[in-house]
């Protein structure tokens, strides 16, 4: 009589440990991914958006933009191109396209001094800056051969409305009603003699005193205070006449010159000083008589 050996019956649950192991592995992988990506999963909308951004930026370079308005004559720092969280405000562009538009990378922007107001949201070009090495001062914008002078709206009201880099001429009007500094025959002090000489320089109704001036920092256009200031540059050789006109409190008018590149500005020739007249001739019928004039007194008091 044969004896049947006992058989082990399968429970059908042998796959469970393997599935559990796979779940643990996948969970660990996803947990690690989330940990490295601030909790974002690969199928999340944010993660997909970041993947799209990374794809769009492939092969491109970043070019900084002004995060805030930057005043003229200011050295650019990180604070000017990053937000409150320290995230840079940049444009991602192909290098060739950026170079065609003259955009500068951050390394070529930081530390440079702005030439004028830089509006927020715009990239930087070489035209936005003073030459490399310029200090963060408006004196760096004074052209060679010129000097800077600060003027108020009270001194020259017509400077208001001119913008930075605008060119101008200054015309002084004499005071035709100003009387003598002292009674006739009175000996003038050295100071009064100097004032008399300055008055004589403005004995015409108008006189051109500055030609080719340049606005460095414009006068506020929205204010109407007589103390509003403008910083301008004038040729060094003409500063003396401007100072003399200001000291005499004569009326000075600023006339704008063309900055159109297609217009050639022709400077007026220097006036020719006439030779002194030593004699005069009077013709009376057939009779001609010549009279010698007394020598003209020089400024130092001697005769010519």
Kindly state the DSSP code that residue 123 receives in the 8-state scheme: B
Tokens of 30: 């996803």
Residue 197 lies in a domain: yes
Confidence tier at 247 by pLDDT (50, 70, 90): confident
pTM attached to this predicted model: 0.56
pLDDT greater than 80 at residue 298: no
Residue 238 lies in a domain: yes
Residues 256-272 have pLDDT tens digits of: 988 877 767 666 565 56
Query: What pLDDT, on the 0 to 100 scale, is given for residue 83?
Result: 86
What is the Cα gyration radius of the chain?
A: 40
Residue 304 lies in a domain: no
Say if residue 105 is in the same domain as residue 170. no
Tokens of 31: 């947990």
Say if residue 150 is in the same domain as residue 212. yes
Residue 99 lies in a domain: yes
Rounded average pLDDT over 129-145: 91
Residues 6+ apart with CB under 8 A from 113: 73, 74, 75, 76, 129, 130, 134, 135, 136, 140
Q: How many structural domains are present in the chain?
A: 3
Query: What pLDDT, on the 0 to 100 scale, is given for residue 151?
Result: 95
Residue 9 lies in a domain: no
Say if residue 89 is in the same domain as residue 148. no
Query: What pLDDT, on the 0 to 100 scale, is given for residue 26?
Result: 62
Alpha-carbon span 44 to 48, nearest angstrom? 6
Say if residue 202 is in the same domain as residue 106. no
C-alpha closest to that of 200 among 304, 297, 303: 297
Say if residue 252 is in the same domain as residue 148. yes
Confidence tier at 213 by pLDDT (50, 70, 90): very high
Question: Percent of the chain, pLDDT > 90?
Answer: 35
Residue 6 lies in a domain: no
Residues 6+ apart with CB under 8 A from 199: 178, 181, 248
Say if residue 234 is in the same domain as residue 129. no
**Which range marks the domain in which residue 24 is found?**
18-57
Say if residue 93 is in the same domain as residue 46. no
Angle at 236 between CA 231 and CA 242, to 5 degrees: 65
Residues 182-197 have pLDDT tens digits of: 454 455 566 666 666 6
């Amino acid at each position: 009589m044969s004896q049947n050996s006992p058989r082990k019956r399968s429970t059908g649950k042998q796959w469970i440990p393997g599935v559990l192991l796979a779940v643990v592995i996948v969970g660990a992988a996803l947990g690690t991914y989330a940990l490295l990506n601030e909790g974002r999963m690969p199928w999340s909308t944010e993660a997909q958006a970041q993947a799209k951004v990374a794809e769009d930026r492939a092969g491109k370079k970043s070019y900084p933009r002004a995060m805030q308005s930057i005043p003229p004559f200011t050295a650019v720092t990180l604070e000017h191109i990053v937000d409150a969280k320290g995230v840079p405000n940049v444009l991602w562009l192909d290098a060739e396209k950026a170079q065609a538009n003259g955009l500068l990378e951050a390394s070529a922007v930081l530390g440079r001094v702005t030439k004028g107001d830089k509006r927020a949201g715009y990239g930087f070009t070489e035209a936005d800056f003073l030459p490399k090495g310029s200090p963060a001062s408006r004196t760096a914008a004074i052209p060679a051969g010129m000097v800077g002078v600060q003027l108020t709206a009270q001194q020259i009201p017509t400077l208001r409305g001119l913008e930075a880099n605008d060119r101008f001429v200054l015309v002084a009007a004499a005071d035709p009603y100003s009387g003598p500094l002292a009674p006739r025959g009175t000996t003038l002090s050295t100071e009064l003699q100097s004032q008399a000489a300055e008055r004589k320089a403005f004995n015409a109704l108008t006189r051109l005193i500055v030609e080719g001036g340049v606005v460095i920092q414009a006068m506020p256009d929205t204010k109407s205070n007589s103390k509003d200031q403008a910083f301008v540059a004038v040729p060094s050789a003409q500063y003396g006449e401007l100072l003399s006109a200001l000291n005499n409190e004569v009326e000075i008018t600023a006339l704008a010159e063309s900055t159109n590149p297609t217009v050639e500005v022709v400077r007026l020739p220097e006036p020719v000083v006439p030779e002194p007249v030593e004699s005069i001739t009077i013709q009376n019928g057939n009779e001609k008589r010549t009279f010698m004039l007394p020598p003209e007194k020089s400024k130092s008091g001697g005769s010519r």
